[in-house]
Amino acid sequence: MDSVYFSEEHRMLGDQLRRFVDEEVRPNGESWEAAGRIPRAVLARMGELGFLGMRYPERYGGTALDTLASVVLAEELGRSGFGGFAITVLVHTDMASPHLARYGSPEQLERYLPQVIRGEAITAIGVTEPDAGSDVAALRTSAERSGNRGWVLNGAKTFITNGAQADLYFIAARTDPEAKGARGLSIFIVEKGAAGFTVARTLDKMGWRASDTAELVFEDCFVSSENLLGEESHGFYQIMDNFQNERTVMGAMAMGEAQRAIEITLDYVKTRKAFGGPLWDKQAIRNRLAMLAAKVEAGRQLVYHAAWLDAQGRDCVREVSMVKAYCGELVNEVMYACQQFHGGMGYMRESAIERMARDARIHSIGGGATEVMLEEVAKRLGH
């Protein structure tokens, strides 16, 4: 965490997060994995400590910090080694609730943001559909006007993190069926339990087992006019706006996971003996771990730089897309090697590296697949 980009409060925040991870997350992570969810008391405790409102105005209970604070949070939560826990929190803080904070009306902010910051209302963002993922412009869920009072939503969302246990959902839907592609999308605030809104099923995933991921169905779900979030037909741009933050945070989380993997693998190879000495004495192993550590350090610095650009209000799409592509692939390269160096033990469900390797796989897929990210980079090369 020693970097030119961080100030004293970032470092103090990092220390407190690290302690929280040591005391509250690592001892309980296995049971959360088995239960498929994070106890609400843990999220409420994080709210109490100010970890869930770092970016939001002080008048709602936040601390008005910038993108670099999100990076500290994501890296430390990633370092827990429990991706399912980390993503539950980060979707709430950096992927879903920013939509409310950025585009909410004063009334909406007053009503929802304090509970979001306290961790009493957990948030989810509903964009992806069975037929549209990274291609946001292809969304089909519809919102039809119902007189002056509001809108009626119909459609389905899938792969929604915090989908089963959220209290507030920000749902993207097509409000203008005539408009092509990106135009004509809007975002709505839907509360848990709204008539016509059901959680169809919780999805069974390869990793992130402690995080609940669900399929949501809207059947004539009425949403009042006050719950339109932001401007009508501007949904696509609102979604795109937060992508930079979301992807930076995913990159930071991935680098936290990679550091943790290297750390536990170092411990393992220094104690595990084969052919008369610890594995650590084999240059094939130490060289590879050293190179991976160098790449992870490079990845972290790129994350910090992208976050700094974002915090400065500078255009950072190219750098953030690089972060997402590079870190998402790198964390998998690290997990593969670290699992390899654990030998047969690394294939056992009881070893942390087995879980971490499964958790890492999503990093090159979710929140912008590597291929999509590289296209974003390619478009911006040469100028």
Partner 1 sequence: MKVLIPIKRVIDANVKVRVRGDGSGVETQNVKMAMNPFCEIAVEEAVRLKEAGLAEELIVISCGVTQCQETLRTGLAMGADRGILVETDAELEPLAVAKLLKAVVDKESPDLIILGKQSVDGDNNQTGQMLAALLGWPQGTFISKIEIKDSGSAITREVDGGLEMLEIKLPAVVTVDLRLNEPRYASLPNIMKAKKKPIETISPDALGVDVAPRVEILEVTEPPSRQAGIKVESVGELVDKLRNEAKVI
**Residues forming the site for partner 1 (CB under 8 A):** 2, 8-9, 11-13, 15-16, 19-20, 22, 48-51, 53-54, 61, 63, 65
Q: Quick check: is 375 catalytic?
A: no
What does the alpha-carbon distance between residue 87 and residue 96 come to, in Å, rounded to a whole number? 11
Least distance from C-beta 9 to partner 1, angstroms? 5
Least distance from C-beta 105 to partner 1, angstroms? 25
Buried (b) or exposed (e) across 2-24, using 16+ Cβ within 10 A? eeebbeeebeebbeebbebbeee
Please, which residue, 12 or 138, has the CB nearer to partner 1?
Answer: 12
Options 129, 246, 257, 319, the catalytic residue: 246
Please, which residue, 53 or 163, has the CB nearer to partner 1?
Answer: 53
168-174 vs 123-126, strand pairing mode: parallel
Please, which residue, 70 or 213, has the CB nearer to partner 1?
Answer: 70
Hunting for tokens 């992807």 — which residue is that?
247
Handedness of CA 278, 281, 282, 284 (dihedral sign): positive
What does the alpha-carbon distance between residue 98 and residue 199 come to, in Å, rounded to a whole number? 23
- Beta strand ranges found along 67-128 (DSSP E): 123-126
- Report residue 288 as tokens: 């590879």
Please, which residue, 12 or 137, has the CB nearer to partner 1?
Answer: 12
Give first-to-last CA distance, the chain, whole Å: 31
What does the alpha-carbon distance between residue 165 and residue 121 come to, in Å, rounded to a whole number? 10
Least distance from C-beta 367 to partner 1, angstroms? 25
Residues near 210 by beta carbon (within 8 Å), at least 6 away in sequence: 29, 32, 33, 35, 36, 37, 38, 82, 84, 85, 88
Helix (H), strand (E) counts: the chain: 12, 10
Query: Which value, in Å, is the radius of gyration of the alpha carbons in the chain?
Result: 21
Buried (b) or exposed (e) across 349-364, using 16+ Cβ within 10 A? eebbbbbbbbbbbbbb
Residues near 226 by beta carbon (within 8 Å), at least 6 away in sequence: 105, 107, 108
Least distance from C-beta 223 to partner 1, angstroms? 33
Least distance from C-beta 84 to partner 1, angstroms? 23
- Report residue 205 as tokens: 């995933």
Of the candidates 69, 162, 84, 65, the residue with the CA atom closest to the CA atom of residue 119: 162
Least distance from C-beta 86 to partner 1, angstroms? 18
Least distance from C-beta 65 to partner 1, angstroms? 8
Please, which residue, 55 or 324, has the CB nearer to partner 1?
Answer: 55
What does the alpha-carbon distance between residue 302 and residue 34 come to, in Å, rounded to a whole number? 34
Hey, which residues are catalytic here?
246
